[in-house]
């Protein structure tokens, strides 16, 4: 055997084997083959932060297999993913196998053409990318490993803190406090249904604070005369969105498909490894000239020439480091239809749904813009004003109506309209200035100002990206970690901090304000990017961070007071001693425990009942968790009733047995 190719996964290996043939033996490393040890710090601080890598026990068999195969190979080809993490995996493999002839091949899509080009022009390992990955790994290990004992001592045993995850937690905690402190303000809106040839609705331009004011305005408006005072028409062009980056794919997948960031990355990884899409961890919106030419040809054949702009659309990446992953996320073949993806072995309907989203975004980004005619009509209502003395006439009210008509759909024909922006649109009749109008009826309605919305996965990722925190490979792990540690919970798909989350976040911000500052964290991401570009050395960067951090650790250990985590009452009494039951968090989630512990050791399972009945026996549906903390829904009457579902049952389904 002359050629050994090492990739990360068996699926990727099978896809490459189709293109490379029998002259290459392809093995999978199953991810990282070396890592820092779990049971100790694993960083020699005194020896300039030297990482002390080990082969995890679960990987020993795989590494031995790779070593055995590598001895028979003349050339070792490292074909891991084209980013920092992939480069680091390749480096660790090279260090372990120690072959004399090693070649690095980089490709951003797994197609026959891309693979053959990569193997025809192999390169060397990029130590700049490897050092950036090492710096992040060491930095995160130092923060997590050093802070955890302090949290155990000052807050609660078993806690841990992450450098970037804690900043995400801070965002959620601060937003929750904004929601809690928010006081809703009443206001009223008055709409008028008006008519000339056709009926339309105009809204009164006034600040109305309460029902009394609203009634006074309605009283005057009922007696007023209405006339069109101004008509403004303008053309609006809506341009397509850029092709997906990792973060925008995660946001769109959350908003449109309801997928978590973690699920989106799992699905997209499978699509990439089977050769359906380009590499899914990227902050670039660049597209290859070949891909653009192919999709423009597809648009012309399937939609017509008017849907192709005169020149190809070029999108510029905001990230300075976007050259690490040369392209946006796109299908490898614009002609490949959804049905072909769904038919591939091992893929599900969810894979097909995500592929369709990626495909539509890519095709739409090269289509013509949508053209709309927007009309704004100002209506003057003359009548008596409630604030004027009785008998004074001639006060003027201003009402406004806005409507738009799509003249040319452009990219919206494929991608579809956004519900939030299009649902209130109205088509206005032909109106001219000084045209009299008749009032059909007034529609006063009470409203209240709304608190800032809690973060969901999409909005949190968007906020982190806006702040410059996190990178394509880190968004999904950030969101997963803060949930797995029970620092936040999801309710109606929104993040809400737990009592524990509040306590941990407040402690970290109080004693380590610089480390968990938004700007500081973003600056650290920039420094890691500089290391990746070869503009900065990684060990001095770690030293610059660690020295003040270590001093702060020592000071906090000596001076910080122990935090008293608020007790969450369950609203039930202990059946053994009669004291209050409280909600505690253990390894597998929440449970009920007696507040009299350690004198009383009574515990119970905490059953979270949702307001939906079991479709099988009509019992209550409760939220349950597996040992791996995955949520599922089951009947409270288990084991008599065996109903269980990974997805939340719908009320419509649960009522079927009542019919």
Query: Which residues partner with 403 through β-bridges?
Result: 375
Find out whether 338 and 259 touch, Cβ atoms under 8 Å. Answer: no
Nearest to 453 by CA among 172, 259, 253: 172
Q: How far apart are CA 266 and CA 646, in angstroms?
A: 17
Q: How far apart are CA 567 and CA 579, in angstroms?
A: 14
Find out whether 260 and 479 touch, Cβ atoms under 8 Å. Answer: yes
First to last CA, the chain: 68
Find out whether 380 and 226 touch, Cβ atoms under 8 Å. Answer: yes
Decide if 279 is catalytic.
Answer: yes
With H, G, I as helix, E, B as strand and everything else as coil, classify residue 641. Answer: coil
DSSP 192-221: EEEESSSEEEEEE---B-SHHHHHHHHHHH
With H, G, I as helix, E, B as strand and everything else as coil, classify residue 24. Answer: strand
449's tokens:
């100002």
Question: For residue 395, with 0-12 CB atoms within 10 Å meaning exposed, 13-18 middle and 19 or more buried, which class applies?
Answer: middle
Find out whether 335 and 298 touch, Cβ atoms under 8 Å. Answer: yes
> Could you give the C-alpha distances from 427 to 346, 377, 433, 555, 602, in angstroms and in order?
47, 12, 18, 66, 65
Phi, psi (rounded to 5 degrees) for 298? -65, -45
> Could you give the C-alpha distances from 398 to 126, 343, 556, 617, in angstroms and in order?
65, 59, 61, 59
With H, G, I as helix, E, B as strand and everything else as coil, classify residue 23. Answer: coil
> Could you give the C-alpha distances from 340 to 298, 348, 415, in angstroms and in order?
17, 12, 20
CA 659 to chain centre: 40
Please pick, among 53, 279, 307, 633, the residue that the annotation labels catalytic.
279
Question: For residue 433, with 0-12 CB atoms within 10 Å meaning exposed, 13-18 middle and 19 or more buried, which class applies?
Answer: exposed
Nearest to 517 by CA among 548, 492, 476: 548
Find where tokens 């893929």 sit.
Answer: 347
With H, G, I as helix, E, B as strand and everything else as coil, classify residue 349. Answer: helix
Catalytically annotated residues: 279
């Amino acid at each position: 055997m002359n050629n050994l190719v090492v990739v990360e996964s068996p699926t990727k290996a099978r896809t490459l084997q189709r293109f490379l043939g029998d002259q290459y033996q392809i093995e999978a490393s199953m991810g990282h083959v070396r890592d820092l040890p779990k049971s100790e710090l694993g960083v020699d601080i005194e020896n300039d932060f030297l990482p002390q890598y080990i082969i995890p026990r679960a990987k020993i068999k795989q590494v031995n297999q790779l070593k055995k195969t590598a001895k028979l190979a003349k050339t070792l080809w490292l074909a891991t993913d084209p980013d920092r993490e992939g480069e680091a995996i390749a480096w660790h493999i090279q260090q372990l196998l120690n072959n004399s002839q090693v070649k690095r091949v980089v490709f951003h899509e797994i197609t026959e053409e891309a693979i053959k080009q990569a193997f025809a022009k192999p390169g060397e390992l990029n130590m700049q990318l490897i050092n950036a990955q090492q710096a992040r790994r060491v930095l995160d290990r130092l923060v997590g490993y050093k802070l955890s004992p302090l949290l155990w001592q000052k807050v609660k045993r078993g806690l841990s803190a992450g450098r970037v995850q804690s900043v995400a937690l801070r965002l959620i905690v601060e937003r929750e406090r904004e929601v809690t402190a928010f006081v809703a303000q009443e206001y009223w809106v008055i709409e008028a249904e008006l008519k000339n040839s056709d009926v339309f609705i105009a809204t009164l331009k006034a600040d109305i604070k309460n029902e009394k004011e609203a009634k006074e305005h309605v009283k005057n408006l009922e007696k007023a005369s209405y006339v069109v005072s101004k008509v403004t028409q303008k053309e609006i062009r809506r341009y397509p969105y850029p092709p997906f980056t990792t973060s925008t794919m995660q946001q769109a997948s959350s908003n449109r498909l309801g997928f978590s960031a973690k699920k989106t990355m799992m699905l997209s990884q499978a699509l990439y490894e089977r050769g359906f899409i380009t590499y899914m961890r990227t902050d670039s919106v660049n597209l290859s000239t070949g891909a653009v030419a192919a999709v423009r040809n597809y648009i012309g054949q399937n939609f017509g020439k008017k849907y192709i702009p005169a020149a190809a659309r070029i999108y510029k990446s905001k990230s300075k480091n976007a050259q690490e992953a040369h392209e946006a996320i796109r299908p490898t073949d614009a002609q490949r239809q959804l049905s072909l993806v769904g038919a591939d072995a091992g893929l599900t309907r969810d894979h097909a749904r995500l592929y369709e989203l990626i495909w539509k975004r890519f095709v739409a980004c090269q289509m013509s813009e949508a053209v709309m005619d927007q009309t704004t009509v100002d209506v003057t209502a003359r009548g008596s004003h409630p604030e004027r003395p009785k008998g004074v006439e001639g006060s003027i009210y201003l009402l406004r109506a806005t409507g738009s008509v799509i003249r040319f759909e452009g990219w919206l024909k494929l991608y579809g309209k956004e519900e939030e922006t299009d649902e209130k649109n109205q088509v206005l009749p032909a109106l001219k200035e000084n045209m009299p109008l008749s009032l059909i009826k007034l529609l006063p309605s009470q409203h209240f100002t709304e608190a800032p919305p809690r973060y969901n996965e999409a909005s949190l990722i968007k906020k982190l990206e806006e702040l410059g925190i996190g990178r394509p490979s880190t968004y999904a792990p950030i969101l997963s970690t803060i949930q797995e540690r029970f620092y936040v919970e999801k309710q109606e798909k929104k993040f809400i901090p737990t009592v524990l989350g509040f306590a941990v976040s407040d402690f970290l911000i109080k004693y380590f304000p610089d480390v968990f500052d938004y700007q500081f964290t973003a600056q650290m991401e920039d420094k890691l990017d500089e290391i990746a570009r070869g503009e900065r050395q990684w060990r001095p960067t770690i030293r610059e961070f660690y020295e003040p951090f270590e001093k702060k650790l020592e000071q906090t250990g000596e001076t910080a007071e122990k935090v008293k985590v608020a007790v969450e009452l369950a609203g039930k009494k202990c059946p053994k001693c009669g004291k209050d039951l409280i909600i505690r968090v253990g390894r597998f989630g929440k449970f009920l425990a007696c507040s009299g512990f350690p004198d009383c050791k009574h515990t119970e399972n905490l059953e979270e009942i949702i307001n939906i009945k079991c479709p099988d026996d009509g019992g209550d549906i409760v939220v349950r968790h597996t040992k791996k903390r995955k949520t599922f829904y089951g009947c409270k009457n288990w084991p008599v009733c065996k109903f269980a579902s990974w997805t939340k049952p719908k009320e419509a389904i649960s009522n079927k047995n009542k019919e």
